Amino acid sequence: MIDLLKKAAWLESEDIRPYVFVRHENEISQPGSAHRLNWFPHQPIFKDPLDITEIAFADRIYSIEERAFGPSNMAMPRWVFYDCAVMPGFVAGFAARPRALSKMVREVLDPKKHPATNSPIKTSAILKHIESLDEMDWVPLSLFIIIPTMHKGEWVAHNLCSVNSLLPKEEQFYGLGFLSKAFGLWYANVEQCSGMTQWGSPALKLHSHYGHLEVIGAYAPVHSHAKTITYRVQVNTHCWEKFFNKEPDLAFLEAYGPTGSFIDPKSEDSMVDLQRRIEMEQGPFFLSAGEIAQKKLDEKLMIYRLKQQY
C-alpha cells in the first residue's frame, strides 16, 4: 500500500473515485469479499447504463475509448459496448469531479474539442445533451470491461483503457490503467481472468501483474489482429504491489523456469511456433511479469514452463 500511494497519490483524493457502470441485475452481491485488499477505501460511484439520463457518462467513456483505440483500428462500436459489455458484464474504472482536474486534462476530456464520431445523433435530439464537463457530477478517466464466461469462475477482460494514453507524462495519473483493472477484479471477486492483447502492446506490462500469466493462445487468426496473445491468470493479489515496487516475484521464479525459447513481437513465426506447441499440449507456457516490466515493448520475451515439467 505504501509503494502504491507513493506512486499513485491521486488514489487518496476525494475528487477521484472508482466507478461501477452496471445494470441492476448484474450488480455484484458481495463486492470485494474474495481478495483481501485495502487499496480502494472510497465507495464507488454507481451509474446505470440503462438509465438514459446517464448517457453523458457513456458518451465520455466512448470518447476516451475511441481515441485510445482508433489508431489501431479497434475502437468499439456502440452496439458492441451495449450488446457484448453492458448487457452480459459490467464496466469499472475511475472518475473525477470535473472541477478538480487541470486545464489540460479538462481539455482532453472536453467533448466539444473531441466529439465522438460514434455519438448517438438521434438521442441528442430527444434528450437534454450534456455539452459541458461542468454539468457532470463525475467524468470517467478510464474504463475496464469484464464479462463472465460459460466456464464457471472464468471472466474475460474485454477492454482496458485510460486517459493517460492521451496525456503528456507530467499530467498522467500513474497507475490509472493498472488500478482500473485491479479495482474491477477485486470488486467482482474474479478468481480467474482471461484476456486478449496484441504482442508488443504496453498493456502486457499491466496484464502480467494480476497473477502468473499463462499464454493460452500465441497467435489468433480468428481475431482481426492475428498477432494477438490470449492469456489467463489465476488472480493473485500478492503480485499486484510488484507493479509499483518492481520487486522480483520470488514465487514465480521458484515455480517456473525458462524454456530457452522466445516470443519476438516482431516475428509472426515465433507466435505461430508457440501456438503450435500449445496445441500439441507441450505447455502450459508462462510469461514473466518482472521481465516484461524491464524490457522495451518490441524486445523478445522468454517463454517459461513449470519447473516440475522438466
Ligand X SMILES: CC(C)(COP(=O)(O)OP(=O)(O)OC[C@H]1O[C@@H](n2cnc3c(N)ncnc32)[C@H](O)[C@@H]1OP(=O)(O)O)[C@@H](O)C(=O)NCCC(=O)NCCS
Give residues in contact with ligand X (CB under 6 A): 68-69, 160-162, 164-165, 174-178, 197, 201-203, 205-206, 293, 297
Nearest residue to ligand X, using CB? 177
* CB nearer ligand X, residue 61 or residue 130: 61
CB 161 within 8 A of CB 102: no
Minimum distance from CB of 195 to ligand X (Å)?
A: 7
Grid cell at residue 127 = 434528450
Q: Whole-angstrom Cα distance, residue 10 to residue 176?
A: 9
Beta partners for residue 302, in sequence order: 262
16-44 in b/e burial notation, b at 16+ Cβ within 10 A?
A: bbbbbbbeeebeeeeebebbeeebbeeeb
Between 16 and 206, name the residue whose CB sits nearer to ligand X: 206
Cell numbers for 39, please give them: 487499496
Is the Cβ of residue 174 or residue 262 nearer to ligand X in the bound state?
Answer: 174
Least spacing, CB of residue 140 vs ligand X, in Å: 12
Cell of 132: 459541458
Q: In the complex, what is the shortest distance from the CB of residue 21 to ligand X, in angstroms, rounded to a whole number?
A: 17
Choice between 130 and 196, CB closer to ligand X: 196
Is 173 or 305 the residue whose CB approaches ligand X more closely? 173
**Parallel, antiparallel, or unpaired for β 154-162 and 192-198?**
parallel
Q: Which one, of 301, 209, 283, 288, lies nearest residue 254 by Cα?
A: 288
Name the minimum Å distance from CB 10 to ligand X. 11
- Compare residues 165 and 261 and give the one whose CB is closer to ligand X: 165
